[in-house]
Structure 1
Amino acid sequence: MTTPLRLPPGIAGTVGRIIGLLALAALLQACSAIKLVYNNAPDLTYWWLDGYVDFNEAQTLRARQDLARLHQWHRSTELPRYADLLQKVEQMAAADVTPEQVCAVLAQIQGKANTLADQAEPAVVALALSLTPDQLKQVERKYEKTDTAYRKDWVRSTPKEQQEKRYKQVLERSEMIYGRLDDAQRDVIRQQVALSSFDGQVSYAERLRRQQDLLQTLRKLQAGKPTPEEARLAMRGYLERAMNSPNPAYRSYQQTLMQEGCRSFAVAHNSTTPAQRETAVRRLQAYERDLRELATQK
């Protein structure tokens, strides 16, 4: 029997990511934009993957077919569940919340991510087995490019610069949910960001570990002639290590970020006015309606 993948408790551990999850509809602004992005998700995902591996013709055909199947499953099975979860969040948004309530919502989101990972596993394994040595070199080059940007933002910058960047991110996402925040509310967000244990160097080290783990796993598959089951177990092992780091210190750091994120979101939300909460509820309701409409489309 296949054991479902389980995401780590801290996978969405920062307050910015929590707010980002709730603000997805607002980030896209118009309802039509949400529908446009979701309906084109297979193509967008394909092009994102292609940027890493540079698909050949056969891989392109297989990847597009797999993504189309995954998208249809997600539309019919998962979107109604996301809408149900949003309905619960709407109810929470009208009143004060506790860090425990925020973390409970995160746990449900993580459960849905687990389900998606399980559903995508056959396609992931098929892609892994089809990659060539040249394509792995392309993955390495892509990693180097994205790592350069990450280092600029989160490693080489000063702690003050990092805090300011994170503050602006959280503020922008918060105002997409609640509307404009006043100075006191902005100070609350700034204080919560300042209290965060986020360490760009620690996160960067884990990022590099995951990248090398994937490359080593793929190279081992190329070097041998694994059976489909052996390949599945190899990729599952990688995904589990990516989701639950083998580094105990990083797991502790990740858990700390999650707890801080839940607390920070609760503090920021509880600083909002009744009118701002009404705005949040209306925007989340609009997103819920969009999800239910998308779920019924073929």
Structure 2
Amino acid sequence: MTISRRLILLSTLLLLSACSSQYAYRLADWWLENQIEEYLDLNREQQQQLSEAIDNWHLWHQQEELPQYRSLLDSLQEALNQDSITPTQIGHFENDAQAAWKRLLHKAGPLLAELTLAQDQEQRQYLYKQIESNNDELREKFSDRSEQERRERGRKGMEKQAREMLGKLNDAQKQKIQQWSETFVLGAEIELTERLRWQERFRDILEGERSEDSQQQLMALFENPRDEWTEEKQQLEAQNRVLSRQLLSDLFQLSDDKQKKRLRKEVAKYQDLLEKMAKQKL
């Protein structure tokens, strides 16, 4: 995960809202503060500033964003009821999710950019240490592992995700996942290279002289990390995106009635959860 996503972190609440409990959503303020402070060593005044901002953000998220997530799930449920999920439809859902991320970033990013720029030298060293720890985690994904081992890990991970939504997989579905695992582009090394390039630019901004443009530069880096991608990285992402969308479509088309019923039930559960969270008192 890039540092921009870990610093902003509010995108993770999208996962909480769609995949967790009402209780977890109610505790999101506390969770987010702790996650952000894993990277930013804030003083008391900065902690108070962050706490107040997250309270306001949480209310905005409940009132403005949860209904949009519910609408997205409604569209998904409608597509499932039509008994056909195409790669193009999956692409539309991904674009809607990306738009939600952009809204979260636009709302939360300015304060986090401000807090990041306000870090003194000691605080910045703490931040850099946490960043490097994440880099080490990524290195572990491919160091001392053969290509076959990495593809096998990808296959197992995809099967696990598919079982969570569909239940027991049939032989045809397992075969599709196997084919996918043999063809997707391995990209951990490229991801690390891109991450390090991004981090170099990030450090340049933090270590440089402050100007009226500093916050905008940092926000641009947060909001548009893909602008920094090399052509190799862009091609990798595009190829894997096509393969993944096709796989998801194939898995649904190969589902029996029991699996499709389970999937619709799972989506309905999240629809109900979002409706309840939108009404609960924070």
Query: Which residue is equivalent to 1:206?
Result: 194
2:32 aligned with 1:45 = yes
Equivalences for residues 22-171 of structure 1 within 5 A: 25=19, 28=20, 34-94=21-81, 95-171=83-159
TM-score normalised over the length of structure 2: 0.87
Deviates more, 1:40-49 or 1:181-190: 181-190
* Aligned mate of 2:234, from 243, 247, 251: 251
Q: Is the 8 A contact 1:125 1:231 kept in 2?
A: no
Instruction: For 1:38 and 1:283, locate their aligned partners in 2 and report how far apart those are by CA, in whole Å.
Output: 19
Q: CA deviation at 1:215?
A: 2.0
Structure 1 equivalent of residue 244 of structure 2: 261
Three-state SS of the structure 1 residue aligned to 2:55 is: helix
Alpha-carbon displacement from aligned partner over 1:2-53 (angstroms, at most 9, x marks no partner): xxxxxxxxxxxxxxxxxxx7xx53xx5xxxxx21222222211211111112
Aligned partners of 1:288 and 1:263: how far apart in 2?
25
> Residue in 2 aligned with 1:178?
166
Per-residue Cα deviation, 1:182-232 (whole angstroms, up to 9, x for no partner): 233222212112211232211121122222222222222xx33x23xx233
Map 1:279-298; keep pairs closer than 5 Å: 279-298=262-281
The secondary structure found in structure 2 opposite 1:157 is: coil
Cα distance between partner residues in 2 of 1:59 and 1:250? 36
Deviation, structure 1 residue 269: 1.9
Higher mean C-alpha deviation, range 148-157 or range 130-139? 148-157
- Deviations along 1:88-136, one digit per CA (max 9) or x if unpaired, are 1112234122111110111111111111111113212321232111121
Alignment partners' CA distance in 2, 1:39 and 1:193: 38
Identity over aligned pairs, percent = 19
Name the SS for the 1:277 alignment partner: helix
Aligned alpha-carbon RMSD (Å) = 2.1
- Contact between 1:155 and 1:200, CA under 8 Å: does it hold in 2? no
Match for 2:57: what amino acid? L
- TM-score calculated relative to the size of structure 1: 0.83
SS at match of 1:154: coil
* Structure 2: segments with no counterpart, 5+ residues: 1-14
The answer to whether the 8 A contact 1:53-1:135 is kept is yes
1:218 and 2:203 are equivalent in the alignment: no
* Count of aligned pairs between the two proteins: 266
CA contact (8 A) 2:117 2:215 kept: no
